[in-house]
């Protein structure tokens, strides 16, 4: 990709990029072929059958069902090949890998705030290691933004009041563009930054070099105490008047409505800002809402804390990329409702 | 084609049916039916009432096929709006399950 | 089989233009042809208004740094460019001008079914336009023409409500036009004008009208809810009370995607006329072209979610919408193939309208093909909200509509004005527009795939080369659109007088004097021929449907 | 075929517009036009019906609690008023068809009066909501939305009741606006009826206005159960489910 192509294609720096580019080449090839073919035929006809005398009336040509069928079915089949390929790549990308390292992203007018699971904070920069799967959990403090890294070929809108996520695995070290791709107001074009892909070792050093920061989980634990969550859910989330939180994340929670939901990021966020919406079976809705009392950053910290609760010792920070720390791993199902 | 004149008797019958439907829906609304039937019953009564209005008060029954097609296509498009938008909302958390 | 029907249109001095004089006779007219001219003037004015904003965008983007406009101004400029061009030019451009003029004439009616409503729709359009321009002049609006919540409801501090009101009002003009067309086509066809004898222009306008009446109300209520949400500071798109901003996008695109077909379908109708008539051939696969218009109108409503692949919409919904988006490509492809086949063994003239027709095929090929890239979700995730999308929709919407609009305007200009336009200038301008357009938007595809996001006031320097090319192209395109304005206005006074049927065509609109009398035809016509049934002048005379006179000996214009 | 076109031109009804061939064509166009207009109305309301469906699905308890705060009595009375007005409208069309001038005028007056009654009752309801501070958001200065007067069902969170009232006011407000337009339209028809403009041959405006009026009734037939009735069974001891 180094030669003359460089100006036609962005660098491919993630495991996904090659797949998207392959599809792009296929699309370009097929569409260029047909565009040239059809324009060629049109130009040929226009020259060959140009009007030679002002009053000539060409013989009418009857339509042909056979031809119509052919040029309906063939484009349809080609289009379906695009569909299958495109959707296939998309679904590979849509499912976040279980073993990804998580990084929290909060968008606000007009900056990107990033926090690593070790506590490092960055603004408009994202340091990531090469060769490790990274999952971004994203939300917005105000309007809709979109987190776009062209060299990784990934983009996802960042919405207020909700979590969205996307993941990547970088394959190349270097500094790359990070853009906000959803128009978000005055300084939209200034809501840009850099993605810095480092060798894993360097990255670990970089993380270690910025020690002293509280991890999100630890900060979340403090919040958990100061907001009074512990009085109902227990100091380590063991439960009490409120449901048990330890080991909750990623499990099915049965609700009073008789249905059950997976306790994912969205569910936990919803339970903090709108506790009445989905009440766990066996409990009543006595929890007050925390909407407006905790910022998006703090919500993410609480989330990180609750996620960390499946480990015996909740205070322990989540080490980067250690398989033991992965949050969404299936776990044995502990008791949800202490009775 | 000349227009069809609906008799007053039919208009009275429809009025009666509509009033009965209104009473029924209020009464049924207060009864607790199993299996979320309340919504279904309320909407069924509303649909029946609406059909009566359309067929008789609005003379749909005596109208050309074109009018039927126009009306049904409106409902069809409303259905499209509902179906495709709900295809988003109902499947949003499938991936995480 | 033909006993009677056409009276020979006796050259009469009275036509719809000189039937009455004075401003009042224009402002209170109920004649669809005069209303079409009112629209023609106002739509063109809005085009140049929007064009000024386009030039400001292109000047700003010449350099990577935001040095010409401030970012706040730039945001208003691209928003207002979008709003004026889409709601006040592209959507009414062909239906309200050429459609208004020709739908009754092509089906052999004296007027549209509701002439007063037709006039009302113009006033509504003007009222909406005035309110919008008022909003733009008193401070402008910076939400993007898409008005996404919650930016538009909560964070923007510009004139969102006033602009929304303008667009809301303008929507009714579109609804009334569509309603009028549908009723007219259903109830007012001349005797013998069966559905499959209709020119394809009528089919495409019928399909367009369907979209107008089914889609426009949804955007109207959505904009209204948005405005109230802004006033109440809370509403159904606001997460604070459990609302979902993505719902706004659903409702918005439910109309705004089909709106693209409101722009392109009438243009396709024009192109069908141009291709058939300027190659003197019956259109290949008439029914397929006719029904593909309806298919596009219906499928067009099923694909809006492809604007939302990265919006946080469900991945399964994305899959459904992607599938349906590929499906809508098929009827468009069918049209292109049939146009191409129509050229086969035709007698193709190189008159200006035909150049626009061929230009349309070229631009639409590129626009349509790049649509396939965007329908493939994996590629769309990368290029959505970049210049790739910008280039794509300009190719489809602007390339499509502008080519159809200018082509149709030249084609029917003898009928509309009673004068011929200067052919040489016409061809030259067509070439300039085509070259300018491609130079403007082709580089944007590359910039887009490289990752340049849209709506950026300043951008990384590596994208500059594409933007310079684009700005150069835009200048050429701007000049190219100005030339026709000059010579068309010139021709109204100094152009050669046009005959009733300067191109020697079978369509009903050519079987009446140029310009036509107030009620279109001297005698109500009876149709006994198929659409695009070409015949040499002698044979046409035998059929007895057209004039016989020495006029036929005059050389074909432009040859 | 050609003959028929010119033949009917001879006898001109005064109401025949110049661009139509005959009254039948004019009538057909008028009726068709109104039906197509009603299609746009259906699409207009369907966006709001969708918003209702979505958020009711999301917040069933809040919707039920807020809905129970509405006056079922007034809602039911209004339903009856509107249904009867639809009947009198149908009766007006009938009288126009058979050419009974006096009865046409009377039934039009009745329809208008019933329509105004509906609007009056609606105004009373709105005023009650205003007193209870249930106008959503900050539309009315000094009356910020407050769910204090709503009896919340167990498990319902107060802030989402605002969503119900947003949708309630949007839908009933739009409906009331259509009623106002309808009353205006019927007043014009009434004016022309009194002047004897309509006869059995030409009464399309009456018919077309009737279509519009029935349509407005139709919307209410759905609004009533959806907005007023959906939580009543819970109030009466039912299970708090959607």
Per residue of chain A (339 residues), what is the pLDDT tens digit? 344 444 678 899 999 999 999 999 999 999 999 999 999 999 999 999 999 988 888 888 888 899 999 999 999 999 999 999 999 999 988 888 888 899 999 999 999 999 998 888 889 999 999 999 999 999 999 999 999 999 999 999 999 988 999 999 999 999 999 999 999 999 999 999 999 999 999 999 888 876 666 788 888 888 888 888 887 888 777 777 788 888 788 777 777 766 777 787 778 887 887 777 777 877 777 787 777 778 888 888 888 888 887 644 444 444 333 333 333 333 333 333 333
**pLDDT of D235:** 64
Q: Please tell me the predicted confidence (pLDDT) of residue B97.
A: 56
Q: Does domain A216-325 have CATH number 1.10.760.10?
A: yes
- The CATH number of the domain holding residue D58 is 1.20.120.80
Number of domains in chain D: 1
Nearest CA in chain B to D90: B57
Q: Does domain A101-209 have CATH number 2.60.40.420?
A: yes
Domain map of chain A by residue range? 4-47+62-94, 101-209, 216-325
Query: Has residue C224 been placed in a domain?
Result: yes
The total of other beta-carbon atoms located within 10 Å of residue C358's CB is 27
pTM, two decimals, is: 0.89
∠ at Cα A117 (A113, A121), nearest 5°? Answer: 30
CB contact under 8 A, A257 and D241: yes
Asked if C442 reaches chain A (Cβ–Cβ under 8 Å), the answer is no
CATH of A4-47+62-94, one of 1.10.287, 1.10.1740, 1.20.1540, 3.40.30: 1.10.287
CA C157 to chain centre: 32
Cross-chain residue pair D157–A279, CB shorter than 8 Å? no
Q: Distance (Å) from the C-alpha of residue A326 to the closest C-alpha of chain B?
A: 16
Helices (H) and strands (E) in chain A, counts: 7, 12
B91 touches chain C (CB under 8 A): yes
Residue to substitute from C156, C309, C451, C466, interface A, most A β-carbons within 10 A: C451
Which CATH number does the domain housing residue C376 bear? 1.20.210.10
Q: Lowest-pLDDT range, A208-212, C29-33, C185-189, D54-58?
A: A208-212
The residue ranking higher by pLDDT, C337 or D140, is C337
**Residue B2 banded pLDDT, cuts 50, 70, 90:** low
Contact status of D239 with chain A (Cβ, < 8 Å): no
Element (H, E) at C340: helix C315-343
Instruction: Determine, for residues A261 and B95 on separate chains, whether the beta-carbon distance falls below 8 Å.
Output: no
For residue D27, what are the domain limits? 21-230
Identify whether C6 is part of a domain: no
Residue D144 lies in a domain: yes
Query: Chain C within 8 Å of B84 (Cβ-Cβ)?
Result: yes
Q: Please check the confidence at residue C9 and state whether its pLDDT lies above 90.
A: no
- C468 CB near a chain A CB, below 8 Å? no
Beta bridge pairs of residue A123: A113
Residue C278 corresponds to which tokens in the numbers above?
Answer: 């300027």
Residue C410 CB partners (closer than 8 Å, separation 6+): C351, C352, C353, C356, C421, C426, C484
Please tell me the distance from the alpha carbon of residue C188 to that of residue C181, in angstroms, as a whole number: 10
Position C4 in a domain: no
Give the model's pLDDT for residue A216: 82
- Lowest-confidence pick of A97-111, C256-270, C292-306, D144-158: D144-158
State both tokens at C500.
């009733």
Query: Would you state the pLDDT for residue B5?
Result: 84
Rounded Cα distance between C214 and C301, Å, is 9
Comparing C13-17, C509-513, C547-551, D101-105, the range with the smallest average pLDDT is C547-551
In a domain, C153, yes or no: yes
Residue A226, chain D, CB below 8 Å: the answer is: no
Whether residue B97 and residue A95 make contact (CB cut-off 8 A), yes or no, is no
Please judge whether A262 and B95 are an interchain contact, meaning their C-beta atoms are less than 8 angstroms apart.
no
- Give the pLDDT confidence score for residue D171 in this predicted structure: 96
The pLDDT score that the predictor gives to residue A211 is 60
Residues 6+ apart with CB under 8 A from C202: C103, C106, C107, C185, C269
- CA C99 vs CA A66, C95, C209, D30: distances in Å: 33, 4, 11, 21
Name all chains with 3 or more CB-CB pairs below 8 Å to chain D: A, B, C
- Region for residue D68 given its phi and psi (left: phi exceeds 0; alpha: psi -120 to 50; beta: otherwise): alpha
**Burial tier of A32 (Cβ tally within 10 Å: 0-12, 13-18, 19+):** exposed
Chain D CB contacts of B89 under 8 Å are 54, 57
Is C421 exposed, middle or buried, given 0-12, 13-18 or 19+ CB atoms closer than 10 A? buried
Q: Do A262 and B96 touch (CB under 8 A)?
A: yes
> Reduced to 3 states, what is the DSSP secondary structure of residue C393?
helix
Select from A136, A163, A189, A193 the residue whose CB has the most chain C CBs within 10 Å, as the one to mutate to test that interface: A189
The domain total for chain C is 1
C12 found inside a domain: no
Half-sphere exposure of C316 (CA within 13 A, CB side): 13
Tokens of A79: 């289009």
Distance from CA of D233 to the nearest CA of B (A): 4
pLDDT at D195 (0 to 100): 93
Q: Are C217 and D6 inside 8 Å of each other by CB?
A: no
Q: pLDDT > 70: what percent of chain C?
A: 94
Owning domain of residue C398: 23-553
Residue C68 has pLDDT above 80, yes or no: yes
User: Region B55-78: what's the mean pLDDT?
Assistant: 92
Q: Which residues of chain D have pLDDT under 50?
A: 1-9, 240-242
Check whether C16 has a pLDDT greater than 70. Answer: yes
**Of residues D204, D128, D232, the one with CA closest to residue D172:** D128
So what's the pLDDT on residue A257?
A: 67
Looking at the DSSP bridge assignments, the partners of residue A197 are A128, A174
Mean pLDDT of the B65-88 span:
94
Is the minimum CB–CB distance between B95 and chain A shorter than 8 Å? yes
| Residues of chain A contacting D58 with CB distance shorter than 8 Å | 277
Could you tell me if C397 and C260 are in contact, meaning their C-beta atoms sit under 8 angstroms apart?
Answer: yes
Strand A125-129 relative to strand A145-149: parallel, antiparallel, unpaired? unpaired
* D chain contacts of residue A284, beta-carbon cutoff 8 Å: 154-155
Neighboring chain C residues of D167 at a CB cutoff of 8 Å: 236
How far is the C-alpha of A179 from the C-alpha of C453, rounded, in Å? 7
Inter-chain CB proximity D155 and A285 less than 8 Å: yes
Long-range contacts from B20-23, C-beta under 8 angstroms, 24+ separation = B21/B45, B21/B48, B21/B49, B22/B49, B22/D76, B22/D79, B22/D80, B22/D83, B22/D224
User: Which ipTM was obtained for this model?
Assistant: 0.89
Domain assignment present for D183: yes
| Minimal C-alpha gap between D138 and chain C (Å) | 5
pLDDT at B19 over 80: yes
Residues in a beta bridge with A155: A148
D61 touches chain A (CB under 8 A): yes
Q: Is residue C180 situated within a structural domain?
A: yes
Angle, alpha carbons B41-B45-B47 (nearest 5°) = 115
Q: Smallest CA–CA separation between C429 and chain D, in Å?
A: 39
Q: What is the pLDDT of residue D237?
A: 56
C52: closest CA of chain D, how far (Å): 34
Instruction: Identify the pLDDT of residue A321.
Output: 36
What is the pLDDT, as a whole number, of residue D87? Answer: 96
Q: Mutation target for C interface from B65, B73, B84: give the one with most C CBs within 10 A.
A: B84
Give mean pLDDT, residues B65-90: 94
Q: Is the pLDDT of residue C143 over 80?
A: yes
Q: Is A286 exposed, middle or buried (0-12, 13-18, 19+ CB in 10 A)?
A: exposed
Q: How far is D64 from chain A (nearest CA, A)?
A: 14
Domain residue ranges of chain B, discontinuous segments joined by +: 1-63, 64-97
* Residue A255 φ then ψ, to 5°: -105, 165
Chosen from B1, B81, B88, B94 to mutate, greatest number of chain C CBs within 10 A: B88
Nearest-Cα distance to chain D for C508, in Å, is 16
Domain assignment present for residue D48? The answer is yes
* pLDDT at residue D242 in the model: 42
Give me the total of CB pairs closer than 8 Å, taking one residue from chain A and one from chain D: 23
Query: Are A264 and B95 a contacting pair at CB < 8 A?
Result: no
Residue of C nearest to A186 (CA): C72
With cut-offs at 50, 70 and 90, classify the pLDDT of residue B17: very high
CB contact under 8 A, D137 and C235: yes
Least confident of B42-56, C148-162, C344-358, C524-538: C524-538
Do C232 and D44 lie within an 8 Å CB cutoff? no
Question: What is the DSSP track for C513-550?
Answer: -SSPPTTS-SS-----S-TT----HHHHHHHT-S--SG
Is residue A158 a contact partner of residue A237, using CB atoms and an 8 Å limit?
no
- The total number of residues shown for chain C amounts to 559
Range name among A230-244, B32-46, C307-321 with the lowest pLDDT average: A230-244
């Amino acid at each position: 990709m180094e030669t003359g192509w460089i100006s036609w294609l962005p660098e491919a720096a993630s495991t996904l990029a090659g797949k998207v580019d392959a599809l792009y080449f296929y699309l370009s090839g097929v569409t260029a072929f047909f565009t040239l073919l059809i324009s060629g035929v049109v130009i040929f006809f226009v020259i060959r059958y140009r009007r030679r005398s002002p009053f000539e009336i060409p013989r009418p040509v009857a339509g042909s069902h056979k031809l119509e069928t052919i040029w309906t079915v063939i484009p349809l089949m080609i289009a379906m090949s695009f569909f299958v390929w495109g959707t296939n790549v998309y679904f590979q990308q849509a499912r976040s890998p279980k073993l990804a390292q998580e990084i929290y992203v909060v968008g606000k007018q007009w900056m990107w705030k990033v926090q690593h699971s070790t506590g490092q904070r960055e603004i408009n920069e994202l340091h990531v290691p090469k060769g490790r799967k990274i999952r971004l959990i994203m939300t917005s403090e105000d309007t809709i933004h979109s987190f776009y890294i062209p060299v990784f070929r990934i983009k996802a809108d960042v919405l207020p009041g909700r979590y969205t996520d996307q993941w990547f695995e970088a394959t190349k070290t270097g500094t790359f563009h990070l853009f906000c791709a959803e128009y978000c107001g005055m300084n939209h074009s200034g809501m840009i930054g850099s993605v810095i892909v480092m060798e894993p070792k360097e990255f670990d050093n970089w993380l270690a070099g910025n020690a002293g920061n509280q991890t999100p989980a630890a900060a979340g634990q403090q919040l958990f105490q100061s907001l009074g969550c512990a009085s109902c859910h227990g100091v380590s989330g063991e439960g009490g008047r409120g449901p048990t939180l330890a080991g909750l994340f990623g499990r099915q929670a049965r609700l009073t409505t008789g249905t059950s939901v997976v306790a994912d990021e969205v569910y936990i966020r919803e339970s903090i800002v709108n506790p009445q919406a989905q009440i766990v079976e066996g409990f009543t809705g006595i929890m007050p809402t925390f909407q407006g009392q905790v910022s998006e950053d703090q919500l993410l910290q609480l989330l990180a804390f609750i996620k960390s609760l499946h480990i015996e010792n909740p205070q322990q920070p989540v080490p980067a990329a250690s398989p033991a720390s992965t949050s969404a791993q299936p776990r044995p199902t502990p008791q949800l409702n202490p009775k | 084609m000349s227009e069809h004149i609906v008799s007053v008797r039919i208009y009275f019958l429809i009025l009666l049916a509509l009033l009965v439907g209104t009473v029924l829906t209020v009464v049924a609304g207060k009864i607790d039916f199993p299996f979320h039937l309340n919504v279904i019953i309320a909407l069924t009564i509303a649909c029946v009432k609406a059909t009566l209005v359309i067929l008789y008060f609005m003379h749909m029954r005596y109208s050309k096929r074109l009018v039927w097609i126009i009306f049904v296509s409106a409902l069809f498009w409303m259905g499209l709006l509902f179906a495709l938008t709900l295809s988003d909302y109902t499947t949003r958390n499938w991936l995480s399950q | 089989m033909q006993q009677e029907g056409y009276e020979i249109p006796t050259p009469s001095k009275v036509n719809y233009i000189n039937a009455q004089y004075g401003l009042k006779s224009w402002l209170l007219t109920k004649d669809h042809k005069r209303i079409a001219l009112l629209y023609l003037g106002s739509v063109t004015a809005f085009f140049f208004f929007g064009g000024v904003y386009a030039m400001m965008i292109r000047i700003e983007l010449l350099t990577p740094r935001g040095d010409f406009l401030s970012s706040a101004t730039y945001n208003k400029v691209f928003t207002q460019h979008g709003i004026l061009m889409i709601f006040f030019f592209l959507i009414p451009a062909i239906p309200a001008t050429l459609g208004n003029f020709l739908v009754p004439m092509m089906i052999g009616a004296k007027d549209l079914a509701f002439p007063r409503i037709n006039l009302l729709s113009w006033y509504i359009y003007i009222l909406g336009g005035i309110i919008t321009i008022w909003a733009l002049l008193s401070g402008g609006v910076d939400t993007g023409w898409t008005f996404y919540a919650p930016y538009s409801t909560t964070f923007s501090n510009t004139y969102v409500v006033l602009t929304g009101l303008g667009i809301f009002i303008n929507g009714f003009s579109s609804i009334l036009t569509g309603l009028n067309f549908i009723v007219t086509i259903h109830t007012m066809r001349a005797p013998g004008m069966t559905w499959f004898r209709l020119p394809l222009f009528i089919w495409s306008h019928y399909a367009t009208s369907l979209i107008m009446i089914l889609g426009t109300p949804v955007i109207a209520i959505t904009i209204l809810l948005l405005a109230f949400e802004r006033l109440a500071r809370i509403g159904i798109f606001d997460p604070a009370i459990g609302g979902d901003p993505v719902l706004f996008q659903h409702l918005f695109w439910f109309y705004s995607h089909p709106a693209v077909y409101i722009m392109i379908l009438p243009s396709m109708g024009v192109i069908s006329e141009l291709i058939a008539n300027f190659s003197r051939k019956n259109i290949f696969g008439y029914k397929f072209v006719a029904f593909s218009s309806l298919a596009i109108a219906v499928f067009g409503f099923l694909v809006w979610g492809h604007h939302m692949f990265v919006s946080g919409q469900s991945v399964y919904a994305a899959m459904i919408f992607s599938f349906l988006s590929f499906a809508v490509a098929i009827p468009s492809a069918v049209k292109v193939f049939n146009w191409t086949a129509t050229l086969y063994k035709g007698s193709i003239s190189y008159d200006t309208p035909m150049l626009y027709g061929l230009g349309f095929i070229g631009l639409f090929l590129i626009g349509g093909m790049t649509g396939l890239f965007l329908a493939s979700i994996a590629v769309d995730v990368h290029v959505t909200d970049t210049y790739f999308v910008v280039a794509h929709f300009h190719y489809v919407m602007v390339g499509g509509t502008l080519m159809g609009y200018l082509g149709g305007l030249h084609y029917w200009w003898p009928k509309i004005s009673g004068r011929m336009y200067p052919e040489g200038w016409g061809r030259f301008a067509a070439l300039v527009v085509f070259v300018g357009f491609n130079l403007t938007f082709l580089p944007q595809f590359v910039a887009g795939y490289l990752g340049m996001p849209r709506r950026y006031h300043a951008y990384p320097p590596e994208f500059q080369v594409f933007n310079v090319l684009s700005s150069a192209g835009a200048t050429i395109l701007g000049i190219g659109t100005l030339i026709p304005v000059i010579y068309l206005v010139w021709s109204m006074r100094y152009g050669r007088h046009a005959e009733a049927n300067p191109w020697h065509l079978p369509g009903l609109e050519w079987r009446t004097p140029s310009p036509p009398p107030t009620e279109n035809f001297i005698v109500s016509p009876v149709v006994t021929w198929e659409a695009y049934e070409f015949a040499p002048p002698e044979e046409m005379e035998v059929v007895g449907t057209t004039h016989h006179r020495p006029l036929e000996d005059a050389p074909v214009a432009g040859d | 075929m050609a003959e028929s076109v010119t033949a009917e031109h001879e006898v001109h009804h005064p109401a025949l517009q110049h661009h139509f061939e005959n009254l039948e064509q004019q009538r057909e166009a008028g009726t068709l036009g109104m039906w197509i207009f009603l299609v746009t109305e259906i699409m207009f309301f369907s966006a709001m019906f969708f918003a209702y469906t979505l958020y009711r699905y999301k917040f069933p308890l809040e919707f039920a609690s807020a809905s129970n705060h509405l006056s079922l009595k007034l809602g039911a009375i209004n339903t009856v008023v509107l249904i009867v007005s639809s009947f009198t409208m149908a009766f007006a069309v009938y009288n126009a068809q058979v050419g009974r001038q006096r009865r046409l005028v009377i039934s039009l007056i009745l329809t208008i009066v019933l329509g105004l009654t509906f609007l009056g009752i609606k105004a009373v309801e709105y005023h009650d909501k205003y007193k209870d501070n249930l106008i959503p958001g900050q539309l009315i200065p000094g009356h910020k939305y407050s769910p204090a007067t709503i009896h919340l069902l167990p498990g319902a969170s107060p802030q989402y009741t605002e969503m119900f009232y947003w949708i309630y006011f949007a839908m009933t407000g739009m409906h009331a606006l259509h009623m106002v337009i309808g009353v205006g339209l019927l007043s014009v028809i009434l004016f022309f009826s009194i002047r004897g403009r309509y006869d059995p041959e030409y009464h399309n405006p009456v018919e077309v206005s009737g279509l519009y009026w029935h349509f407005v009734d139709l919307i209410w037939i759905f609004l009533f159960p959806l907005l007023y009735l959906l939580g009543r069974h819970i109030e009466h001891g039912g299970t708090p489910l959607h």
